[in-house]
Amino acid sequence: MSKAVVANDHGAVSLAAEVVRHLEKRGFEVTYLGIDHEESIDYPDKAEEAVMEYRKGGYDFGVLLCGTGIGISISANKMKGIRCALPETKYAATMAKEHNNANFIAFGGRIEYSENPLDILDGYIDATFQGGRHERRIEKMMALEGK
């Protein structure tokens, strides 16, 4: 069974619940590390928790959510080996996987998307990394860590 880890802060409680339900409907086993209340917590803590869980292995990807998706994605991207995309369209989500082999995807619970976020998520899930010239670029990207 495919597995995903999902984490959110107080800015994306509703959208996180939708994401978890959607992933489960698609047959994913979900490890949910988010919160179900709007009492303020810090998104860097949730990003770190999700990445540490992901690193245990066995996960296909992770989904991170905060008010805009920006803070939690930046936080995750500070951690070694993480490529967290913040797409606002299905096309961008597909490219995040096909070209960048993103292992996390982020969303904003307070963002008014022009496309349904679940469709955007599906674009990411249904895509396959294309390798080839993209592998070379990812190697260069990851070599920037710590500079």
Domain ranges of the chain: 3-143
Is pLDDT above 90 for 1? no
Mean pLDDT (the chain) is 97
Report pLDDT digits (tens) over 85-141. 999 999 999 999 999 999 999 999 999 999 999 999 999 999 999 999 999 999 999
Verify whether residue 84 is a known catalytic residue: no
What is the pTM for the complete model shown?
0.97
Catalytic status, residue 22: no
As its CATH architecture, domain 3-143 has 3-Layer(aba) Sandwich (3.40)
pLDDT level of residue 68 (50, 70, 90 thresholds): very high
Q: Which of 10, 66, 84, 134 is catalytic?
A: 66
Total residues found in the chain within this entry: 147
Beta strands in 1-147 (DSSP E): 3-8, 29-32, 61-66, 84-85, 104-108
Q: Residue 84: count other Cβ atoms within 10 Å of its Cβ.
A: 26
Q: Is the pLDDT of residue 147 over 90?
A: no
